[in-house]
Every structure is written in structure tokens, then in C-alpha cells.
Amino acid sequence: MSRIGNKSIAVPAGVTANVEGQTVKVKGPKGAMQLVLHDDVTMTLDKGVATVNPRDQSKRARSMWGTYRTLVNNLFTGVTKGFEEKLEITGVGYRAAVQGKSLNLQLGFSHDVTFAIPEGIAIATPKPTEITITGIDKQTVGQVAAEIRGYRPPEPYKGKGVKYAGEYIFRKEGKKK
């Protein structure tokens, strides 16, 4: 029995959802999204409550049950509240700036790194050392944050690089004489 899959999803006010076969379409104040369900799960909508159920009791169906319940919940959260990821840049001369449809990063290389902002994602730099990534798709927001962090991950000796807000960097001691 899936503990996550058993939970029903309350459809928020101002959100319209419909199920056409295995396709779930959700439209809300921040935009519209859709998801194609796995063949081993079904979804029903009645009176503002969405439920995801396995088609049978096979191991695969039960494992997809909780996964797709969470993915459907992320659809509802995305079109109402959206998702946000914050990155922090540490290092002398390291900074970021948004220029049109691209993010310009100065990360200690001999050249600037230019990151093209994907469709449906908004990037803001409230300070030159902070990056805020927002969007309605949780997977895309996380992927963009991981790609930006991947240009210069934080190193363990001085802690320089791009890290998630609140991420702990395990620090190492340098060489001793």
C-alpha cells in the first residue's frame, strides 16, 4: 500500500482540471500544464478532489502509483503557486546578471559564461551574488538550477562557486607546513 498514493489531491480554487484518457490537463492563474499518465495508473476527478489509483496490484503499478500522484500534485502546485529555487555565488569577482533572454555569469574563467534562459522560466538577480529561478514546472526549475550550479560547483577548500541557498559545503583543511 502506497502511503503517498493513498492521499487524495484537493483541486485548488481557480484551477480547472480534466482527464482525457491518460492525459491530465490543468489550467490555473500562472499557466497551463499537462501530463501523460503511465499505463499502470488511472486518475479520477470528482467534486474538487483528484485521486490516482493503480490499475492492478502488480509491483510496477504500485510503484508508479505514488510517483504519478506526486507528479499530478506538482501540476496543481505549479499552476497556483509556482516553484522557486535560489542560488548563491561565493568568490571574489564572481557575479551574475540577467541580460535580455540570457544569464551572464562571471565565475573566474577567462571568459564569461552565457546561459540561455529556457521558455517558461524566469531568472532574477536581486544582488550580483544571488540568482532566483522561478517557473511553473518543478522539473525544469530544478534542471536549470542544476545546470547553472554545474558551471562552477562549490569547492571544499575556500567554498568558492555556485551553491543552492541553504546548502552546506563540507570544508577541508588546506596543506600544513
Per-residue pLDDT tens for 22-81?
Answer: 999 999 999 999 999 999 999 999 888 999 999 999 999 989 999 999 999 999 999 999
Tell which of 80, 96, 117 closes a domain: 80
pTM of the model: 0.89
For residues 48 and 76, state if they share a domain: yes
What CATH number corresponds to the domain at position 158? 3.90.930.12
Under a CB-based contact definition with an 8 Å cutoff, are residues 76 and 35 in contact?
no
> Residues of the chain with pLDDT > 90: what percent?
85
Tell which of 27, 51, 80 closes a domain: 80
Domain that holds residue 27: 9-80
- pLDDT at position 144 is 96
For residues 66 and 110, state if they share a domain: no
For the chain, where are the alpha helices, taking DSSP H only?
Answer: 59-80, 138-151
Q: Per residue in 104-139, pLDDT tens?
A: 999 999 999 999 999 999 999 999 999 999 999 999
- Is residue 2 assigned to a domain? no
